[in-house]
Every structure is written in structure tokens, then in C-alpha cells.
Amino acid sequence: MGDEKERVIRQFNDTSDGYLASSVHAKGKDLRWIEEVVRRERRAKALDVATGAGHTALLLSQSVDEVVAFDITPNMLRLAESQANKNGISNMSFVLGDVEKLPFSNETYDVVTCRIAAHHFPNLQKAIEEMYRVLSKNGILIIVDNYIPEASGKDDFINTIERLRDPSHNECVTLSKWKELFIERKFTNIMCYQTWTSSMDLNEWVSRAKPPKENRAKIYDLIEKENLNWIDKHQVHLQKVMWVCTK
């Protein structure tokens, strides 16, 4: 396993509890949109990639016969399983592994979801290829993630601050890059379902990832020096997108 993936495991093993309580992860309005899309027609099996604390998988369990919660981080997976047990959910299973090497047969799932996680993947293209492979014919892929504005001139600062906050962060990409990746994989009905701004208290956002003191200081120093319209001394305003694509 590469260094990038080891960083992801270390980071989320250490910070898993914070993501269970996070309002952005537990109560985001995109959960309602995901439910809206999945319930449009009967779908039997779902896979939630990079499930984290299991919020999306728990939601899917109400709409499909069977859902697999999949993550590379043991503590996150244990947390998701504990939430399923607490809520009496019996149609969920939990699998540890790497999104770039999904341990499932071709065309196994009618729905594959990945929510607020893809910016951690070292090889986003490979991850999308794997998600496409395990989708059944006419299955749907739903991805929610942060994105960066087109030609903003500040792209490097967004990813720089994200990496200072969380060393497992790889890259946020533009909407056009996302669409290019879906087209390359030959998805159809590629829909930018929603875009929105998610605003959070700056200190809460930084603290959730538990960065070292020197990195925290660098973040606040950059905020002081640069005129960044997405972050200030009090709040961070992340641009988010929800994609819905058909195989």
C-alpha cells in the first residue's frame, strides 16, 4: 500500500469520532437528494465507497435490499457498524479495502455512492474506473465532493490549505475535470445534479482534522496574507457538487 493511502488510514483512524458528530457529514442536505435519486426506481444492491461513519450507507439501507459499507480505515468501518447495530439495521455488511482495487465482481451493484471522500483518493481516475466496473448495466453512480472553481487563480491555495489541515487530502478538482473523468469512463446521462456552498465555522473545520500546531499556524497565516473568497478568520465556504451518472 502506498504512502498516500497509509496517510489516509492514519488520519481517519485518529479522527473518526469527529466525523460521526459533524453536521456536514451527518445532516447535509445532499443526503436528502441522494435518497430522492435512489428511490426513483427499484434497486436491490448498493455499495457505499469510503463510507466513513456510515451516514450514506445507513440512508441507503432504507431504500435497497442490501448495502455494503466499504472503507480503507478500520476505525471508520467499526464506527459505521456500531451505528448500524445501534439503529437495528440488518441489511448492511462492512468490507475493509481500497477503492482502487474493489474486491467485488463486475456488475454487482445497482447503486454506487461516494460522499465527501473522493478528494482523498490518490488516483481518482482508477477509483472511478473501479466504481464503473462493479456497477450493473443501467446502474447509477452518485458522487458528492468538494470542487474548485474554473481558472480561479486560487486553486493552489485551496488544495494547499486543505493539505495543511489534513495530510490525507489529495486534490479537489474542477467541475470540468469531473465531467472529463466520467466521459472517459463512458458513463451516460452525466448530470451535475446540484452545486451549493457549505459554510462552516473555521475553527471547527480545522480542529476536526486534528492538524499539528505548526500546520494550524500556517493555515491562519495564509488566511491573513491572501485575499481568499472561500475562507476567512471565522468561516470556510466550501463549494460542493453532487453528480449522478448512469452506466
User: Per residue in 43-78, pLDDT tens?
Assistant: 999 999 999 989 999 999 999 999 999 999 888 899
Looking at residue 209, its pLDDT comes to 87
Cell of 186: 463512458
What domain range is 135 assigned to?
3-151+168-200+238-246
Span 31-48, average pLDDT: 95
Residue 100's pLDDT band (cuts 50, 70, 90) = very high
Distance of CA 21 to the CA centre of its chain: 16
In a domain, 220, yes or no: no
Q: Is 205 inside any structural domain? A: no
Position 228 in a domain? no
Question: What pLDDT score does 8 carry?
Answer: 46
Note whether 114 and 50 are within 8 A (CB).
yes
What is residue 225's predicted lDDT score, i.e. its pLDDT? 87
Per-residue pLDDT tens over the stretch 148-158: 988 766 667 88
> Is residue 233, in this structure, part of any structural domain at all?
no
pLDDT of residue 13: 47
Residue 217 lies in a domain: no
Count H helices and E strands in the chain, helices first: 10, 7
pLDDT at res. 19:
47
Number of domains in the chain: 1
Query: Beta strand 109-115 with 45-49: parallel, antiparallel or unpaired?
Result: parallel
Q: pLDDT tens digits for 21-31?
A: 544 455 689 99
Spatial neighbors of 191 by CB under 8 A, at least 6 apart, are 243, 244, 245
Q: Provide the CATH number for the domain around residue 114.
A: 3.40.50.150
Residue 56 belongs to a domain: yes
pLDDT tens digits, residue range 218-233? 999 999 988 888 899 8
C-alpha cell at 191: 448530470
Report percent pLDDT > 70 for the chain. 87
